[in-house]
Structure 1
Amino acid sequence: MASTTRRPAPTVGFDLDMTLIDSRPGIRACYLALTERTGTYVDADLAVTRLGPPLEEELAHWFPAEDIAATADLYREMYPSYAVAATPALPGAREAVEAVREAGGRAIVVTAKYEPNAKLHLAHLGIEPDAVIGDLWAEQKAVALREHDADVYVGDHVGDVRGARAAGARSVAVASGPCDAEELRAAGADVVLADLTEFPRWLAGYREGDADGPAAARA
């Protein structure tokens, strides 16, 4: 039975890639351009199936260790020209952020993406969180989540679940990225939604004291 105690306005953290935005088309285009620029083949179609971890982890599949730092710098420099305009918001992204605002809360973005490029995506799409913190992955995300007193963290990857748990925040996972619902539950997600279109209803239930939100909204 749900509690009758209404929770205060929450601070909600959101991951970026494959949570708020479908970054696959833009990242694919950037990897193709990187291949052309460097002469080193990157399987762009494969790379976009495993988004989430830091860029350097993906580059390690294709470049020798001594070249990774410089190649990452080059990729990030090229990224705005190839990736930003090609990247759409995922269904429900704007509505999810707005739902937090309508509840009187704060919406922040905590992402492993290079922070200046993360901000370019959000500005291009007209999504305006209260704060954007980049360059953090998995448990490292807990630093920003704790700093901003986040009650909830929403992400698509098992690394996001780990970050939420490390911060003591409720982990709301969306099965819109490379990890399916079963993987997300196994990693310890408190709630698994199909995508962000279900988030406003979940948040309403959470505010009313239901620990997991409406049962029908869970994937």
Structure 2
Amino acid sequence: MALMSSSTARPAPTVGFDLDMTLIDSRPGIRAAYQALSAETGVPIDADLAVTRLGPPLELELAHWFPEDRIAEMGDRYREMYPTFAITPTPAMPGAREAIAAVQELGGRAVVVTAKHTPNARLHLTHLGMEPDVLVGQLWAEGKAEALLRHRATVYVGDHTGDVRGARAAGALSVAVPTGPCDEDELRAAGADVILPDLTAFPAWLRAYAAGEPAVEAAGLA
């Protein structure tokens, strides 16, 4: 049920979450997948460098290592290899399960919207015991607005400036966590409404937001 303790309480929220470096620390798994792709193809890939710039679609990263006419093929092969190499090494980010649960405990819906290939995103969530209400994959930056609008998300949580752009394109409140490649200054400059240190701070922020407490959006409890 929605919170009813305040005359300014909001309806139960639908909250969107990014996946990589927001809900999961996918660096170990993605590093292993790139190393496997490199070994199979004989093409040198600096996997340590690649995992410092997670967020954008896979094809943008592959363009650093493969000629244009091989990117589609390599993207397909990477996604095929991914379940073998990337799922088991990837842990949840601190506070991730609790963040999803906080939304659902308020009677809201948790919607994961990610640029990742949907079947592989689902494998991560299942492996880590995360149970969002909706998963939408293969959307990036402003493209994420499509899913956020469809599911009427009023908040979107992410770690990348692309996530901030997606939230703003959907008219949703942008809640940012500097747990990925973008630091607090970059996220703020991109237009994030709220910056939290990580997801462990999210449940308290969400309760205050849902209760309609003043200045929560501006302050971000940060």
Query: Shorter-chain TM-score: what band?
Result: over 0.9
Select 1:67's aligned residue among 41, 66, 70: 70
Q: Does the CA contact (< 8 Å) of 2:205 and 2:220 recur in 1?
A: no
2:121 is the alignment partner of 1:114:
no
Superposed CA RMSD: 1.3
Shift of 1:4: 4.8
Task: Look up the match of 1:10.
Answer: 13
* Cα deviations by residue, 1:59-80 (Å, 9 ceiling, x for unpaired): 0000000000000000000000
Shift of 1:215: 3.9
For 1:217, the equivalent position in structure 2 comes to 221
Q: CA deviation at 1:208?
A: 1.5
Indicate yes or no: 2:154 matched with 1:151. yes
Q: Quick check: 1:27 aligned with 2:27?
A: no
Separation in structure 1 between the aligned mates of residue 170 and residue 216 of structure 2, nearest angstrom: 18
Distance 1:125 1:50 in 2: 23
- In structure 1, the residue matched to 2:209 is 206
- Which runs of 5 or more structure 1 residues have no equivalent in the other structure? none
CA–CA separation in structure 2 for the residues paired with 1:78 and 1:130: 27
Q: Distance in 1 between matches of 2:208 and 2:186?
A: 24
TM-score where L is the length of structure 1: 0.96
2:152 maps to 1:142? no
Change in CA separation of 1:216 and 1:173 when aligned onto 2, cut-off 3 Å: closer
Are 1:184 and 2:181 counterparts? no
Q: Quote the residue 2:3 is aligned against.
A: none
The separation in 1 between residues aligned to 2:74 and 2:128, in whole angstroms, is 27
Q: Give the aligned partner of residue 197 of structure 1.
A: 200
- Structure 1 CA distance for aligned equivalents of residues 108 and 18 of structure 2: 17
Per-residue deviation at 1:216? Answer: 7.2
What TM-score, normalized by structure 2, do the two folds share?
0.95
Cα displacement (A) at 1:214: 8.8
What's 1:85 paired with? 88
One-letter amino acid of the counterpart of residue 167, structure 2 = A
Give how far 1:209 is off.
1.1
SS of the residue 1:217 aligns to = coil
Q: Is the 8 A contact 2:14 2:109 kept in 1?
A: yes
User: For this pair of structures, how many residues does the alignment match?
Assistant: 216
Q: Return the offset for 1:212.
A: 2.9
- Partners of 1:195 and 1:15 lie apart in 2 by 13
CA contact (8 A) 1:201 1:214 kept: no
What's the secondary structure of 2:175's corresponding residue? Answer: strand
Matches within 5 A, 1:95-106: 95-106=98-109
Larger deviation: 202-211 or 69-78? 202-211
What residue ranges of structure 2 are gaps of 5+ in the alignment? Answer: 1-5
Identity, % of aligned positions: 70
SS of the equivalent of 2:203 reads: helix
- Give the structure 1 partner of residue 51 of structure 2: 48
CA distance in 1, matches of 2:191, 2:73: 36
Partners in 1 of 2:72 and 2:219 — Cα distance?
Answer: 45
CA deviations on 1:146-168 (whole Å, 9 max, x unpaired) are 00000100000000000000000
